[in-house]
Structure 1
């Protein structure tokens, strides 16, 4: 874009480019449906990508998966290219690339904008997640089909399931083999214990050592690494001590737990961005109709992690919240949350308290019909780091230093700080979210209340203790957004 353009023209251009990128992502999300064919998805993305780039009229795209490739019509490679790896289970399986067919002015990375760098990475990440889902769905469906077919026969279906896993997902096959070996050892099967170098020759037995009162360290126990031989021997022992139904149930349980591993890993991490958590829960909900659920201990661990991630670290709050909040409740909350793409913030005290109170009332309404008359206000939630994003967007980072100044100087500079904030602008993604909020609330009057640690925490619920501002919320959409 020309440097001679006015600030207003630059802002309009900036918003138009972001709108193109969002439209590109929306089109791609429409393609990534569970029932979609992979080849159709690749071709659809090839068509959806060029309109999202700054110079769409000279933009072409290409997807390479293994030895197969999909590309724009009349495609030709050029030096003006950017690409991102497509990963499945943390392993690169291909790339998505964007080319300009002629040289254009330099931007952040050659002729490409920094937002386009993030955009192509996001597309590659979403495509990789979709391919992973399709692969896991295929494996699980094949397993269910094989199991169902063999239920009608006299053959041992679990052997066919293992052969299928060995061919389609060797790592999962070896993990399940090791789990079976551990299960047999823990249930006291001597043949399984002999597969492990469990104690050094000449030393007393493990049971004696564990149960005794010896005041010395235990000897190191060396485990044999997983292999086809170990797997074959493990399931041969399992067939001697467990019936076919028991083995099949164990394999089924471990496949389900492995399939949900991505959920636990993402949700337990306190540093996962809000957008990543939302996408993870969305994928989990797609699995629920297939009959895959989280084991109760894991489910409680994930739930507590979500409470700590979004609401509070206080144990009193967590102990109450985990009795009334479910994973699906958090997913519904995310639909009404305002956050930036990279946000790792949580809810404020008022928001957390109001959400928990609403969940308690919903669960108790069957016990006390009077609670049905309690009105729960329509609510949107703003993450705690949105204000920091606003400050960074408007170059107001130095405001943080105010708290270190003398009180007289703070009082003197306070009016100027207020006016500086009033003259600031929200980032486009926040404006888009606030626009959705106004659509939801309609033209009802709104109240914006002050917030501080003396107002929003357990034992100090004094909303707007310092200030409450009434917004009439009238006029056209632009005026209401400006207010």
Structure 2
């Protein structure tokens, strides 16, 4: 890399590398998923599709070793500059995929290879292994269905395949089926459960010493137990139910990596995002997973990304799907070590959008309603920003006298604006700008304490509109400047005073960021929506006895919604009770003229 390379040029170059890697992975998926292509031919095509995804494609070469066969270009040469990953199927290493350079290049993360290229080659190896598993399963099913075979049906085919390939999974499925039969009240199922374990019951000595642990029980012969279990299941269950149960448990086993990643609350977001990508690439139908697993995945992901508040989790888990988080992680800006959440405002938007999506009884009214394009910066990016600029001491400001905080707040804002963003954040923000193109955007606060029960923080933190015009360099600089100002607002006098009043001063506050497109249209040199506003579920300003509290309240203004949020002394919003839209606040013509909006906020 040239030493005089400008920061923006470096960011753009890095983004081009990420785009190459994504295109490479898409091409790999396309090749491996084609049903009509011979697998050997697919691997031959694969070694040609892999090199363009690397940093130096002109000197890159790929090779796949699989089942004692080698797939490589005719002019392949061994070199010391290689990156490889094992191909694993059913826990067994069956091959290896590698990429090597034919000429030396500068050392970076792993020899001449980037850490992103390590993740890329691991993903490619994983996809090859999964494809091998699919081929083996199809072959086993085809063989088991030959004329003259037994009448066990599809469930027998699956079990026979597992006997020869994955006995650990066979053991888990057998145990699950025994439990399922017991819970279903099948006669003899409990006897089967007891008989399946040796030395599991207390002996006379055990009974005399009740405070001793029960002796460990070992499972008896697996093949015999599996055969007896599924023969009993076949007698009492329909084949569709039997096959569906086996399939759901296999899918549960396949999805266990995501469950583990989501359950680990301290895992880096990059690992969780990778697990979500992997889950999506395996084409697991969430509806085929057991209900308990589906609920557990949703709850863990909601807790990991948004909040551990039970009220929020209880509302969100019923309208959320695992696939919702796939789109989410691909619209996030985070550093490799980030472990933050997305904050209260992001959580509220996510939940509201899912409620609207699932509100089938109101679909006719809600048709066309959409959520503006949104990118998210997790809460701990603020900490990374402060560490990067050696500004961690600002957290002590909250314990100073409020007058002193107010006095030097403007200086603090300028100090934040003069600070620099970590390179990884700059890359992500540049990618977000590419997605928004030249659409005006708004940078919104989304702190961990914001929009919670008892601490709404309405208007306490900054939200800033940006025209998002000009060169890429100018747009990125303006975006970073706005985020820095939102970060500074965490340490402003109003939110600190608000937190102190509610006993939240000692909470270590973190600030997530939402970057959203502004909905509207261009009118001359201005950009604005026809109208905007805020709505409340409960109406505390009832101008008629016929209006109930639950009829709600909407504050509507022309143009941007800033004048609807902030109470201004020089202008008025239009007030509407959605439950009683015909009851107007102003009755006479003079009142209507006097209290109508007279000003409008726009983006220039």
Q: TM-score of the superposition, structure 2-length normalised?
A: 0.63
Cα pair 2:44 2:71 within 8 Å, conserved: yes
1:30 to 20, 23, 27: 27
- CA gap 1:183/1:101 in 2 versus in 1, 3 angstroms: same
Higher relative contact order (CA 8 A, sep 6+): 2
How far did 1:450 drift? 4.3
1:448 aligned residue? 443
What is the distance in 1 between the residues matched to 2:25 and 2:449?
45
What is the distance in 2 between the residues matched to 1:193 and 1:160?
27
Q: Map of 1:246-257 to 2, 5 A cutoff?
A: 246=238, 249-250=241-242, 252-257=244-249
Larger Rg: 2
Q: For residues 136-175 of structure 1, give each alpha carbon's deviation from its aligned partner in whole angstroms, at most 9, with x where no partner exists.
A: 434554576678778x997233444432332343333343
**Pairing 1:265–2:267 present:** no
Structure 1: which 5+ residue stretches go unaligned? none
How far did 1:43 drift? 3.2
Q: Map of 1:303-452 to 2, 5 A cutoff?
A: 303-340=298-335, 343-364=338-359, 366-367=361-362, 372=366, 377-385=371-379, 387-388=381-382, 391=385, 396-404=388-396, 407=400, 411=408, 414-421=412-419, 427=425, 429-439=427-437, 442-444=438-440, 446-452=441-447
2:161 aligned residue? 164
1:43 aligned residue? 44
What is the distance in 2 between the residues matched to 1:173 and 1:75?
41
Give the secondary structure class of the aligned counterpart of 1:312: coil
What is the distance in 1 between the residues matched to 2:229 and 2:370?
59
What is the distance in 1 between the residues matched to 2:357 and 2:476?
33
How far did 1:415 drift? 4.7
How far did 1:77 drift? 1.1
2:201 aligned residue? 199
Structure 2: which 5+ residue stretches go unaligned? 479-604
**Pairing 1:122–2:119 present:** yes
1:473 aligned residue? 468
Cα pair 1:28 1:48 within 8 Å, conserved: no
How far did 1:97 drift? 2.9
1:220 aligned residue? 214
What is the distance in 1 between the residues matched to 2:463 and 2:274?
34
2:69 aligned residue? 68
- CA gap 1:233/1:171 in 2 versus in 1, 3 angstroms: closer
Cα pair 1:338 1:430 within 8 Å, conserved: yes
What is the distance in 1 between the residues matched to 2:114 and 2:85?
9
What is the distance in 1 between the residues matched to 2:156 and 2:368?
57
**Pairing 1:283–2:281 present:** yes
How far did 1:279 drift? 0.8
What is the distance in 2 between the residues matched to 1:387 and 1:221?
50
Q: For residues 254-283 of structure 1, give each alpha carbon's deviation from its aligned partner in whole angstroms, at most 9, with x where no partner exists.
A: 343123323243144232634224314423
- CA gap 1:75/1:24 in 2 versus in 1, 3 angstroms: same
Give the number of aligned pairs. Answer: 456
Cα pair 2:24 2:49 within 8 Å, conserved: yes
What is the distance in 2 between the residues matched to 1:280 and 1:361?
28
Cα pair 1:473 1:480 within 8 Å, conserved: yes
Cα pair 2:87 2:129 within 8 Å, conserved: no
What is the distance in 1 between the residues matched to 2:424 and 2:203?
70
**Pairing 1:301–2:302 present:** no
What is the distance in 2 between the residues matched to 1:300 and 1:425?
37
Cα pair 1:28 1:45 within 8 Å, conserved: no
What is the distance in 2 between the residues matched to 1:374 and 1:26?
32
Cα pair 1:447 1:468 within 8 Å, conserved: yes
- CA gap 1:201/1:58 in 2 versus in 1, 3 angstroms: same
Cα pair 2:60 2:102 within 8 Å, conserved: yes
Give 1 or 2: higher helix fraction: 1
What is the distance in 1 between the residues matched to 2:349 and 2:63?
48
1:155 aligned residue? 151
Q: For residues 348-395 of structure 1, give each alpha carbon's deviation from its aligned partner in whole angstroms, at most 9, with x where no partner exists.
A: 2111112212322343462596x6389554141313157358638xx7
**Alpha-carbon RMSD:** 4.1
1:98 aligned residue? 99
